[in-house]
Amino acid sequence: MDQNVLNILMVVEVVISTVLVVCVILQNRAEGLGSLFGGGGEVFRTKRGLEKFLYYFTIVLAVLMAVISLIIVKYTKG
């Protein structure tokens, strides 16, 4: 594979990882430290609106990052 394509894939991976970190931080913004360890006594509620979009967008970004990482590894090794 051409070196330029590998460089582009690496830049895309850095961008995806940065956006992924931001998505995770935005999801946990409303969570308190107590609920992190099982406290809080909250009842189950469904995700709606932006929260639901961020949840699915995070999953898509994680899968894309894994696929791009595997492509980079495959073509740099050989």
**Residue 15, both tokens:** 């961008």
Q: What is the pTM of this model?
A: 0.74
Residue ranges of domains in the chain: 3-29+50-77
Q: Which two tokens stand for residue 14?
A: 């850095």
Q: What is the pLDDT of residues 17-73, one digit of tens each?
A: 999 999 999 886 555 555 555 555 555 667 788 888 999 999 999 999 999 999 999
Q: How many angstroms separate the CA atoms of 15 and 62, rounded?
A: 12
The pLDDT value recorded for residue 49 is 83
Place of tokens 């992190």: 36
Q: What pLDDT was estimated at residue 32?
A: 53
**Cβ–Cβ < 8 Å for 10, 72:** yes
| Alpha carbon distance 21, 27 (integer Å) | 10
